[in-house]
């Protein structure tokens, strides 16, 4: 099984960059399943029906997310609509009463793929459940489905937490890919027991800004500590960070490749 994952897609420039590069990546890698982190789709904060529809039309099969999923009120309407609810997961370690699902069992061809989303707790302002034991529980609850692959998007700030989780999941998850920082760590590897791992895939968005937004206001903020509005140019030079993973019939990863593409929007 071949998996293609797009890191956090940031704003219109990120969406357009993915749309430009996806056809070529399909030709090059022939993925069976395409996932993307959607939490920054709409101007860098949350999602809208239009932006999700745009990415579904482009060819994304399933969306993971993170803390910014809740930045727009319409998310509650989106998650109550079965058309979208089946394609979007939120971090599983939010309280059980939180709208949406933290994991999905997706059918790819004749195989079941378990996709789980977690939010890191280190440096986070969100009080979430501990993800390590929750992963064990989710895995046990889905054991009878015998998923052909188990994929984890760990959306977190701290590299140490993500690395520790990768070791915790080694041999039981097919892949653990980190998101959230928008900076590719380029430490991709297959761990000893067969789990493909990377601390952070990066982002799809403005190349020459600061983690996807215009750099000038951010520099001013660091210099004078006054609040600024994040500005996301809709055109310019963009970067696409993605991850390709190949998984054998035993659920172990056999290949991992980080992908960086540059395009002009």
Domains present along the chain, CATH in parentheses:
2-264 (3.60.21.10)
Task: Decide if 147 contacts 113 (C-beta within 8 A).
Answer: yes
Task: Decide if 188 contacts 242 (C-beta within 8 A).
Answer: no
Residue 198: exposed, middle, or buried by beta-carbon count in 10 A (0-12, 13-18, 19+)?
buried
Read out DSSP for 142-181?
TGGG--SEEEEEEE-S-HHHHHHHHHHHBTTBSEEEEESS
Q: Is the pLDDT reported for residue 251 higher than 90? A: yes
Q: What is the C-alpha separation between 25 and 205, in angstroms, rounded?
A: 17
CA dihedral 191, 196, 202, 204 (to 10 degrees): 170
DSSP state of 87: T
Q: Is the pLDDT reported for residue 229 higher than 90? A: no
Is residue 68 flagged as an active site residue?
Answer: yes
Q: Provide the phi-psi class of 119: left if phi over 0, else alpha when psi is between -120 and 50, else beta.
A: beta
Q: Which of 68, 155, 180, 182 is labelled catalytic?
A: 68
Q: Would you state the pLDDT for residue 204?
A: 98
Q: Is the pLDDT reported for residue 213 higher than 90? A: yes
Beta bridge partners of 262: 239
Q: What is the C-alpha separation between 94 and 65, in angstroms, rounded?
A: 12
Q: Would you state the pLDDT for residue 17?
A: 98
H-only helix segments in the chain = 11-29, 49-58, 75-79, 82-85, 131-141, 159-169, 215-224
Q: Mean pLDDT over residues 121-143, rounded?
A: 94
Q: Mean pLDDT over residues 103-120, rounded?
A: 96
Q: What is the C-alpha separation between 127 and 121, in angstroms, rounded?
A: 7
Q: What is the C-alpha separation between 223 and 218, in angstroms, rounded?
A: 9
Taking only the tens place, the pLDDT of each residue in 144-186 is: 999 999 999 999 999 999 999 999 999 999 999 999 999 999 9
Task: pLDDT band for 11, please (50, 70, 90 cuts).
Answer: very high
């Amino acid at each position: 099984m071949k998996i293609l994952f797009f890191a956090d897609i940031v704003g219109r420039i990120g969406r357009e960059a993915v749309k430009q590069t996806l056809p070529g990546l399909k030709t090059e890698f022939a993925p069976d399943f395409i996932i993307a982190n959607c939490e920054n789709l709409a101007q860098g904060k949350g999602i809208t029906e239009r932006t999700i529809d745009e990415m579904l039309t482009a060819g994304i099969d399933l969306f993971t997310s993170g803390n910014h999923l809740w930045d727009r009120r319409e998310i509650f309407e989106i998650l109550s609509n079965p058309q979208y609810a089946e394609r979007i997961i939120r971090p599983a370690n939010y309280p059980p009463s939180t709208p949406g699902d933290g994991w999905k069992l997706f059918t790819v061809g004749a195989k079941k793929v378990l996709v789980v989303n977690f939010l890191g707790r280190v440096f986070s302002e969100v009080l979430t459940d501990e993800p390590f034991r929750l992963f064990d529980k989710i895995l046990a609850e889905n054991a009878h489905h015998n998923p052909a692959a188990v994929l984890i998007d760990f959306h977190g700030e701290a590299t140490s937490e993500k690395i520790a989780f990768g070791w915790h999941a080694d041999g039981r998850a097919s892949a653990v890919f980190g998101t959230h920082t928008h900076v590719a760590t380029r430490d991709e590897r297959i761990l000893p027991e067969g789990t493909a791992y990377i601390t952070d895939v990066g982002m799809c968005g403005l190349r020459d800004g600061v983690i996807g937004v215009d750099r000038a206001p951010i520099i001013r903020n660091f210099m004078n500590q006054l609040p600024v509005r994040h500005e996301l140019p809709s055109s310019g030079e963009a970067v696409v960070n993605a991850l390709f993973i190949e998984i054998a019939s035993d659920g172990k990863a056999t290949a991992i490749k980080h992908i960086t593409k540059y395009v002009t929007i």
